[in-house]
Amino acid sequence: MILTSAKIENINDRILFLDISKNRLYLHKNYILKIPLSFIGLLFGCFSLSAQTGTLKGTITHNGEPLPFANVVIHKTNKGASSDANGNYRVTGIPAGSYSIAASFTGYKTKAKSVVIAKGKTQTLNFDLVSENNLDEVVVSGTLKPVSRLESPVPVEVYKPTFFKKNPTPNIFDALQNVNGVRPQLNCNVCNTGDIHINGLEGPYTLVLIDGMPIVSGLSTVYGLSGIPNSLLERVEVVKGPASSLYGSEAVGGLINIITKQPENAPLVFADAFGTTWGEYNVDVGFKANLGDDASLLFGTNYYNYENLIDNNNDNFTDVTLQDRISLFSKVNFKRKENRLLSLAGRFFYEDRWGGELQWTPEFRGGNEIYGESIYTTRWELLGSYQLPVEEKILFNFSYTDHDQNSVYGDTPYLAEQRIGFGQLTWDKPLKGHDLLFGTAIRYNFYDDNTTATGSENLNDVDQVWIPSLFVQDEIALAEKHKLLLGARYDYDSRHGNIFTPRIAYKWKWSDNDVFRVNAGTGFRVVNLFTEDHAALTGSREVVIEESLEPEESYNVNINYLKKIVTRKGAFIGIDASAWYTYFTNLILPDYDTDPNQIIYDNLDGSAVTTGISANVDLTLPNGFKALIGATVMDVTNTENGERQQQILTERFTGTWALSYKIPSWDLTADYTGNIYGPMRLPLLGELDPRSEYSPTWSIQNIQFTYDGIKDVELYGGVKNLLNWTPDRGNPFLIARADDPFDQNVTFDVDGNAVATADNPYALTFDPSYVFAPNQGIRGFVGLRYRIN
């Protein structure tokens, strides 16, 4: 007998029949429903599948607060979910097994966890994400204490390696070109040395620190910035405005603190190498290792080489200085009881660079036949930190640098030695309602050269000075949202006597996303002329120092507003805006105008003012688009004898941008970076000089593509200077009298002034100081990064 129908169940006076012969399921009595058996099979299959899968749920938060619309992805599957308005998420139908789950949200670091999904079970997995936007970054430069950028009473800007990778460069000097309000300034068309300007102030007003120590100072202000490898950066902190009350001289205009990686945070092995179509080659290689159970080592080396003679502006001089450079860096961290700090680091730097007439070779070094500027630089640096083994938090920091420079500028030799020792002891003492910092420091400066700066013809007067200091700082909690910072520093310089620099700062954090700050203070700077101003050595102008130079003093007020916005759809917007006013007395500026054949240095008989506004906007969208856009408008002038004029080599406005877009399906990121600078007044040699008195508005723009679809590898390439802009546009020449660099065919009158002749119709002398932008035009580049974590 063949079964053709069966009674299944009695449901409320209706009888369910399965009629196999007709492939139908009937709800008998009134036959009101007919269901195909294929659907029934699917239905029972789903019930069976549900028994083989599990569910994942949880909450996504930041500091305990829910993050709505965050993403949860289960690796190696197509499953995922978004959190709701309360930060909760739920993923169903996950086959049983072990998985890696990643939670991500715009502006926060992606976090991954492992989980095992059981059949028919619900697993709970919560995530607390850490913000990766710069507004929540921990900074130390503003107060000498680690504090969230939002909590710091002193405005501090933070730039991470991901920012500098958007436009790869061989050193930190070039990398800063896309930081708003910060401009690497070339000071010579021949040797391409330079310094860093902050808010229009000359390079010597900017203090450059490495791990909080004044490593880059004096001679290295001009010659040492190109030797810091980007691959060792943990972050760069920028403080705009005087910081002399904590850091002493040279921090008048602001400071740049280059913080290197900790060994425990660095990759096991890392390498980064790139080359350009101009023939530049740069290689960074490093590793970390454990030295027994109680110490860890980080080692890195950078090598840069450029040996390609290029003269696109046809003046018979190199457009870009030829360079051969190596830098070695090592840091060791020691494990101590109660996690007390002990760290030692060292760096060695050697560079051989030259620029000049194309036919120059080393045999012409120092001679007057073929003009060349050749610089051999050797530097040693040592720095460290030691936390005393006591209950109180007392920290001793120290550094030592030895800089030896053997250089010639045409037939003018410049041989210099500089040694700087620094020690600082700080006591961090929090009390009820007060966060106190007490400190004492001592600095030793040794400087000797072959110029009149350290003696006359028969007498060598080495410049040696010890500068002891005391400083104190109190951060007072006035109320929950209000803080007041008071600080003062006392220095004694035997050359200038007692120096006192106070400061005051107020912070009002009226919400978790809004901070208003006011900072005011004074600054001072002791001038080291030949170590800081390359123009005093190059060209044929006579250097005149009219009087004993007094320390410069400044008075500054800075207002800052910081805003953080996170939209419900996952977009992040950060706004950082500032306005400042700085008033200088005793300002020392090179005077190119009074006598075209001289550079005159003296204290300004009057005043100088720099004022302006600046803003950065940081934008991150859920679709992978990121933008950092900045703009600065400023007025930098000096007034003497009732005459007010714009300071030379200072732009009126500047803009920077870094735009990025990530295409996950292609493992590809596109970066478009650039800057734009307004007109700046340039140094001319006289009324007949045919070169433009003001630079045009100019822009350097770059594009890069990065592929990261290979494990532990990044491939990148692009184009620099897309517009092929160079400063010779619109000018008959850049270097005055490039065909007569030793002024052999220049006629002078009885007062030493150049006279116009048929061979010299503009009455010029040789002068390479007319420079405001790089001479390097468009070029392609390609590179590779490799790391093992």
What's the per-residue H, E or C state across 389-456?
CCCCEEEEEEEEEEEEEEEEECCEEEEEEEEEEEEEEEEEEEECCEEEEEEEEEEEEEEEECCHHHEC
* pLDDT tens string 118-169: 988 999 999 988 766 656 677 777 788 888 888 889 889 999 888 999 999 9
Q: What's this model's pTM, rounded to 2 decimal places?
A: 0.82
Structure tokens at 55: 């569910």
pLDDT at 16 (0 to 100): 44
**What is the per-residue pLDDT for 14?**
42
Q: List, in sequence order, every beta strand (DSSP E) within 711-766.
A: 713-720, 747-748, 754-755
User: What is the pLDDT at residue 547?
Assistant: 63
Q: What share of the chain is helix, strand, coil (3-state, %, to 5)?
A: 10, 55, 35
Residues of the chain with pLDDT below 50 are 1-33, 35, 37, 39-50, 535
Cβ–Cβ under 8 Å, residues 283 and 302? yes
C-alpha span between 277 and 783 (Å, rounded): 12
Q: What stretches of 166-215 show up as alpha helix (H) in DSSP?
A: 172-175
- Picking from 270, 203, 253, 257, the residue whose alpha carbon sits closest to that of residue 228 is 257
d(CA 313, CA 676): 22
- Contact predicate 245/499, CB 8 Å: no
Provide CB contacts within 8 A for 399, sequence distance 6+.
213, 214, 215, 381, 382, 383, 384, 420, 421, 422
Write down the pLDDT at residue 212: 86
As a whole number of angstroms, the distance between CA 496 and CA 500 comes to 12
User: Residue 302: which of 277, 278, 323 has the closest Cα?
Assistant: 323
SS3 378: strand
| Cβ pair 269, 787 in contact under 8 A | yes
Partners of 639 in beta bridges: 607, 644
DSSP reduced 3-state for 665:
helix
- Residues 738 and 151 sit within 8 Å (Cβ to Cβ): no
The number of C-alpha atoms within 13 Å of 69 and in the hemisphere containing its C-beta is 12
Q: Look up tokens 């449901």; give the residue.
A: 11
- Cα 691 to Cα 519, 567, 683, 772, distances in angstroms: 41, 52, 10, 13
Question: In angstroms, how far is the first alpha carbon of the chain from the final one?
Answer: 72
- The pLDDT score that the predictor gives to residue 8 is 42
